[in-house]
Amino acid sequence: MMKSSIALCIAALACTSTSSPLLDNLDKRQSTTWTYTCSSSAPPANFKAFNLPGCAAQLTFDKDRYIGVQWNFEATYTDGSRIEHKPFGSTNFGVSDTFYPYPGNNFLTAYPGNSAFTAVHEFGNVCKSGQAPVSWRFFTTSANSACSAARYRFTTGQIAAANSATRPSKVSGVSLRRVNDAGDFQASWGAVASAAAYSVIVQYPTGTDEVGNPYTNVRGARVQGKTTQTIATTTRRSDVNRQVVVHAVNAQGVWSLTTDVQPIAARW
């Protein structure tokens, strides 16, 4: 019982108090300088935080396909307290993952070509005593020892939360069809009035595992000024459907809700 009480107390301090020894030690261990030696990938950038109606929040940032880096998110409130929040998680390839580099790639330009993308993380119940966070911090709690020092951790400074954010409508009318024997598939969708751009993400097979199931990957593009995009999926595993999701982003940088968008499939 005593151990449980101590554990709960420590957890509470870590979540709510800026003077917590755990948080102080965390701050001392982390660096605001990005270090990653495995490749010439782009460093994380363009960190944004949006407070949305109903005590929801959306956090976004640009990153590359880092190996073995776990991202975490901590909110700061008007009273100075700090609470770590976990984003919505899903196996849907249209939802950004906080660890694996492939799911949820809202590409900056296109892939293949540019491997950097925008990660979009959705949060619920982020208010404290009815008040939304005033800022957020993005930080890592794991790093691949082959890519940086074993004890290295990265943190941003405090990212101010925007309170006047408006989420664009979800993209509707999405379809996908094969356009040639080379494996190119064309995605089409209906225009969203407030969209500044769209992210088109196509999942396609890349091979076969030892029991016959397909390995998959994603390709896609950031699209402006049109509502169609052709994505090359190769001719591998023509017996496996290709799937697509399309998200919209407005000029403020807020994305349409990504967590409940179901992929649209197309046969070869």
**pLDDT tens-digit readout, 179-197:** 999 999 999 999 999 999 9
For residue 161, the model assigns a pLDDT of 97
Who contacts 95 (Cβ-Cβ below 8 Å, separation ≥6)?
A: 88, 89, 103, 104, 258, 259
pLDDT at 154 over 50: yes
For residue 18, the model assigns a pLDDT of 39
Please state, in angstroms and as integers, the Cα–Cα distance from residue 157 to each residue in 25, 32, 150, 200, following that order.
16, 7, 22, 31
Distance (Å, whole) CA 208 – CA 220: 22
Q: What is the mean pLDDT of the chain?
A: 87
Distance (Å, whole) CA 139 – CA 160: 15
Beta bridge partners of 252: none
For residue 131, the model assigns a pLDDT of 94
Q: So where are the chain's domains?
A: 31-162, 175-266
Task: Say how many residues make up the chain.
Answer: 268
- Fill in the amino acid letter for 56: A
Ranges 26-40, 53-67, 83-97, 162-176: which has the least confidence? 26-40
Q: Which CATH number fits domain 31-162: 3.40.1350, 2.60.40, 2.40.128, 2.40.10?
A: 2.60.40
Tell me: the pLDDT tens digits for 219-256? 999 999 999 999 999 999 999 999 999 999 999 999 99
Tell me: the pLDDT tens digits for 19-75? 344 454 455 567 888 888 887 788 999 999 999 999 999 999 999 988 888 999 999
Beta bridge partners of 118: 62, 106
pLDDT bracket for residue 122 (50, 70, 90): very high
For residue 9, the model assigns a pLDDT of 35
| Fold of domain 175-266 | Immunoglobulin-like (2.60.40)
Distance (Å, whole) CA 156 – CA 161: 14
Q: What is the pTM of this model?
A: 0.86
- Fill in the amino acid letter for 23: L
Distance (Å, whole) CA 239 – CA 205: 10
Query: Smallest Cα–Cα separation from 23: which of 68, 59, 57, 74?
Result: 74
Same fold, 31-162 and 175-266: yes
Give the rounded percent of residues in the chain with a pLDDT score beyond 90.
Answer: 69
Please check whether residue 192 is in contact with residue 248, taking contact to mean a CB–CB distance below 8 angstroms: yes
Distance (Å, whole) CA 238 – CA 28: 52
